Structure 1
Amino acid sequence: MDKYQAWVEEVIGKIREKMDWVSEKNKDKIPYTTDDSGCYDDRGDMTKEWSVDNGLNWWTNGFFGGMMWLMYQDTGEQKYADIARISEYRLEQCLADFYGLHHDVGFMFQPTCVADYRLTGNERSRKNALHAAVLLAGRFNPEGQFIRAWNDLSGDDTRGWAIIDCMFNLSLLYWASEETKDPRFRHIAVKHADTVMKYFVRPDGSVNHIVEFDPQTGEMLRSLGGQGYCEGSSWTRGQGWAVYGFMISYFHTGKEEYLITAKKIAHYCMAALDESGIVPVDFRQPKEPAWEDSCGACVIAGGLLEVAKAVPEQEKEMYRQAAFRILDAIYRTRSDWSRDCDAIVRNCSGSYHNPEHHVTMVYADYFFMEAVYKLMGNTGLLW
């Protein structure tokens, strides 16, 4: 018996029980977080005064659908596919409107459209995913060899900005290249990953969140602290995007440099991980206030489990054990299985300097669930 089997079976039992009613209650929503009553909000609510980058285009809007596809993959229940498609088809409006879309179309359309197509062969989903991949490829700057991140932010010229999060969005380009047999998508993904490897990953395995390049010449200008504590620090969710993201690139390309880079980042994370398994917002933040980010914790855990799949047998347990320590800490001390809250994972933080801390985030639930299924041995993943 796998040493984690009893734990996994217990947790998956609770996931199935909670998702059974959470899915029904929120089937018409595209949630991001919960309100004071514990109920999910709805970023797809077109009656609200969301900004162009903060409503239907919000970057996390694919994760509730992704959770439903995880449940469909697990249980085979048709209701999860039906609920997943409600938010998936609402996101088509983003493609039609165009304005407000950004590099995170991978996060939006990979766990919805690509997942649907892979699991069911839905041609409508394939078309939408390819549309999103073309838009993502169009953000590539050939001088700097990077994919531009955000559209201009309040007062900031972001034409030369790339961020570590985009390592996940590359999965959409790899899929599009494999699906269409067109190497252009893959070329862009590899060029971006190579740039990140060169300019984002520090010698000790910590990573920058934001790097700014001259959009005309491609010259690196500076790095920025972004959502971490400060420039030069180590935003933990960014560490997760990096280790998991380089594993995505490794599995799609076989480039050994990506595995080596992912392992270097993983070892930095494991060395910085507290014995408790609780993960801070930034590995280099002050001891007080002790802000946590359970979402970053779940992403790191998923990345460590991906590394474990690619290393020799004698090395696997080191990564699996570190991932389990994180997931067990979430399960025992940072989760809510009651009907008082729609979300599972607690104590998430968007960024170190955000005035709000220790909230719920739908993508924390997604990555927690995904990692638990990985421990179960379910390798039919969405990325």
Structure 2
Amino acid sequence: MAEETNWAEEAWQQGVLKTVRNAQRIKDTFPHTSIQGEYDQNAPEWWTAGFWPGLLWLVQREAGTAQEADSLSRIALSCEKQLEACLRDPDLVDHDLGFVWLLSGVAHYRQTGNADGRRRGLLAANLLAARFHVRGRFIRAWNFDSAAMDTRGVAIIDSMMNLPLLYWASEESGDPRFRWLAEAHADTVAREFVRGDGSICHVVEFDPTTGQKVREHGGQGHAPGSAWARGNAWALYGFALSFRYTGEARYLETAERAADVFLAMLGEDIVPPWDFRAPAEHQVAWDSSAAAIAASGLLELAKLSPRGEAYAAAGERLARGLYERYSSGASSAEEGLILQGTVHYPERRGLNVPIIYGDYFYMETLAKLRGREGWF
């Protein structure tokens, strides 16, 4: 047992040191992928903008010195203030408000009791609730136009990880409407996204007028019917969270199905291919972020399921494998914490590189193994 504790502590401390070092250069910008060892900078309206402040808040609560903690919190707060400007423009917000605000304003509020963090989090929750399609009972995903689909009626599996913003808002405000909308959306996703074999589709298009399902799209997966690895990870973690917040058994059952099929497709590997069902000639990109998300989700599921011991063992196996085989190492100049993530294979973007959300969920998993929690 001591050996198990030591590796997780060693991995955590290595991640802390690198995050503190990275903060000196990245400061209050918004990284997404590491290019030749350095994280890029994206606009605050990009969907990944919350993961850097979320990572800073994870590390800040256990910082080695008061000066270090103050520096990290100042950077995270500066990010949050930039993100608030996006809340004033409806074209700059979408279904990923949970990813952004659970890890920035809400994390800030939970960590310090800051009233502005709470205010921003509740405003974001209201904007997320406003995207609910009443007839289709789903939260609309994107704002942009697409020749491939009518995005006025599109929902995606990533949305399950954004629902905790609505659950939190219900608990924080005492208003049950946020939870009701979240449950209605989760029920639609369980019905329309989770296939009979437990695998998950990425994108479902609904008729924007009637709310009826039109078709499934491959999205960031290889094709309709495939199994995009990160989408399967979002599902197992997201449904586990919906069960944690609501106690509704149907969400636990769905989370277990998604977890079981993810682990079955993964086999003895640590990092999955970007799509489990992609043809052999496309099995050239891997996704460590999917492994990190799944690891944290499995540890969450372990606390909720009668089969918790098996899920805990699986989550720990993935986390340890990421550390021993995919971490960039303490002495490396590489800013990313874990290697070989893939952003979007069909568009050939970000193949086999460190990704900020991979780093966040890797550190969140390590925090859980050390008895702490993440921000979802």
Displacement of 1:2: 6.1
TM-aligned CA deviation for residue 350 of structure 1? 1.5
CA distance, structure 1, for counterparts of residue 257 and residue 332 of structure 2: 41
Once the two structures are TM-superposed, the CA of residue 20 in structure 1 deviates from its matched residue by 2.0
Matched, 1:83 2:85: no
Q: Deviations over 1:258-304 (max 9, x none)?
A: 01110011110111113131211111122333321111111111111
d(CA) in 2 for partners of 1:346, 1:281? 14
SS at match of 2:48: coil
Q: Could you tell me how far apart the structure 2 residues matched to 1:332 and 1:148 are?
A: 39
Question: What's the counterpart of residue 22 of structure 1?
Answer: 22
The answer to whether the 8 Å contact 1:4/1:375 transfers is no
| Amino acid aligned to 1:90 | Q
1:40 maps onto 2:39 in alignment: yes
Residue identity in the other structure for 2:131: R
8 Å Cα contact 1:171/1:249 also seen in 2: yes
Q: Which amino acid aligns with 2:325?
A: T
Point out the more displaced range, 174-183 or 336-345: 336-345
1:316-364 deviations in whole A, cap 9, x for unaligned? 2311222222222221222213352211111111123132411221111
Match status 1:270 vs 2:263? yes
Structure 1 segments (4+ residues) deviating >6 Å: none
Q: How does 1:97-246 map to 2 (within 5 A)?
A: 97-155=89-147, 156-246=149-239
Identical residues among aligned pairs (%): 44
Which residue number corresponds to residue 59 of structure 1?
47
In structure 2, how many angstroms separate the alpha carbons of the residues matched to 1:282 and 1:34?
Answer: 21
SS of match in other structure, 2:227: coil
The answer for the alignment partner of 2:59 in structure 1 is 71
How far apart in 1 are the matches of 2:175 and 2:239?
22
1:51 is matched with which residue?
none
Determine the C-alpha separation between the residues in 1 that align with 2:123 and 2:20. 32
Q: Report how far residue 3 of structure 1 moved.
A: 6.1
| 8 Å Cα contact 2:54/2:107 also seen in 1 | yes
1:298 matched to 2:292 = yes
Q: Select 2:279's aligned residue among 261, 276, 286.
A: 286
Cα distance between partner residues in 2 of 1:276 and 1:220: 35
How far off is 1:100 after superposition?
Answer: 2.3
> How big is each residue's C-alpha offset from its partner over 1:157-214, in whole Å with a ceiling of 9 and x where there is no partner?
2011010000011111111111110111111000000101111111221011111111
Moved more, 348-357 or 358-367: 348-357
The answer to whether the Cα contact below 8 Å between 2:302 and 2:312 also exists between their aligned partners in 1 is yes
Q: Say if 2:368 is the partner of 1:371.
A: no
Structure 1: runs of 5+ lacking an equivalent: 44-54
Q: 222-231 vs 315-324, which deviates more? A: 315-324
**Per-residue deviation, 1:29:** 1.5
CA distance in 2, matches of 1:95, 1:218: 27
Task: Give me the TM-score of the superposition, normalised by structure 1.
Answer: 0.92
Deviation at 1:245, TM superposition (A): 0.4
User: How far, CA to CA, are the matches of 1:318 and 1:2 in structure 2?
Assistant: 20
CA contact (8 A) 1:164 1:200 kept: yes
The CA deviation string for residues 193-238 of structure 1, in whole angstroms up to 9 with x for no partner, is: 0101111111221011111111211111111111111100111100
1:372 Cα offset (Å): 1.0
